[in-house]
Structure 1
Amino acid sequence: MTAIGTAATTATVWTAVCRTDDLPRERGVAALVGGRAVALFRTYDDEWYALDNRCPYAHASVLARGIVGTRGDVPFVASPMLKQPFGLRDGVCLDDPDVRVATFPVRVVDGAVHIGVDPQPS
């Protein structure tokens, strides 16, 4: 098992989203996980990350359709609408560190990719 991203809490609910073979390298896919629109990304070196799918600049759920790349050693996704880059490790906008999107832990178990979210209060 490989866990990547934000540390999971004991209340984290894990949801299988896809198989590792379902998502090509340097791509993203959107998934509804625990009632949240989440963007799952696979980097060129097979690291997995999950961010909130909503771009805070465009106010649209589009990050999963962004361009995945690196700036130095920082993996990022560029929003497809306005091109702001968000770090995949921490969700921080590389051009404006005051802006960030939520991150979610990811784990791979027996070829299945899981995203963890904390349950939303009722």
Structure 2
Amino acid sequence: MTILLDENAAAGGTAVTAVETGAEWLDACRVEDLAPGWGEAAWLNGRQVALFRFPDGSVHATDQRCPATGARVMSRGIVGGRIVEGRPVRTVASPLHKEVYRLDTGECLNADGGEGGSVPRLEIFPVRLEAGRVRVEVS
């Protein structure tokens, strides 16, 4: 279920329940807990999630599991950016084999498909910042 907080929730207000979606907005951490340019891991709703904060203050969340290897290492990845189709996109490179994933779509930008022919995709989670807190929608 998606939980929407009213503007006064941080000051002791009540949470408002929205429609059933099979996902929840979960509190991950304070924005200031995330150092710009680095990743951190969080345990949310029984899942390991990698969180990345960029110097402009934006935050992205992905599955902690590397799609290519299955190892739970993405928060240790290298954050950066690429120009894709003439526009900048935020990226993270796996710390193991350096596959580069878009943080907006999860698409792998440098995989050839390997033996099975399928290009791995990184699971991306929606993020919102509320009252200095990072909230992630995890199903």
Q: TM-score range by the shorter chain?
A: 0.7 to 0.9
Structure 1 position 69, deviation (Å): 0.4
How far apart in 1 are the matches of 2:121 and 2:55?
23
Matches within 5 A, 1:80-95: 80-95=95-110
Sequence identity (%): 43
What letter matches 2:47 in structure 1?
Answer: R
1:66 maps to a residue whose letter is G
What is the TM-score normalised by the length of structure 2?
Answer: 0.73
Instruction: Pick 1 or 2: higher relative contact order, CA cutoff 8 A, min separation 6.
Output: 1
How many Å apart are 1:57 and its aligned residue? 1.7
What is the rounded CA distance, in whole Å, between the counterparts of 1:99 and 1:81 in structure 2? Answer: 14
1:24, distance to aligned residue in structure 2 (A): 1.1
Residue of structure 1 aligned with 2:74, choices 55, 63, 66: 63
Rounded Cα–Cα distance in structure 2 between residues aligned with 1:77 and 1:108: 20
* Bigger radius of gyration: 2
Alignment deviations for residues 33-92 of structure 1 (CA, whole Å, 9 cap, x no partner): 111111111122221111111112222000001110011211101111111111111111
Alignment match, 1:76: 91
Partner of 1:6: none
Q: Which runs of 5 or more residues in structure 2 are unaligned?
A: 6-19, 114-118
Structure 1 unaligned segments of length 5 or more: list them: 2-8
The number of aligned residues is 111
2:106–2:123 CA contact under 8 A, matched in 1 = yes
Q: Tell me, in whole angstroms, the C-alpha distance in 1 between the residues paired with 2:27 and 2:66.
A: 23
Residue of structure 1 in register with 2:34 after alignment: 23
Kindly provide the amino acid, as one letter, of the partner of residue 21 in structure 1. Answer: E
Write the distance in 1 (CA, Å) between the matches of 2:74 and 2:91.
11
* TM-score between the two structures when normalised by the length of structure 1: 0.83
Aligned to 1:34: 45
Query: The residue matched to 1:64 in structure 2 has which SS?
Result: helix
Detail structure 1 runs of 4+ shifted over 2 Å in the superposition: 9-12
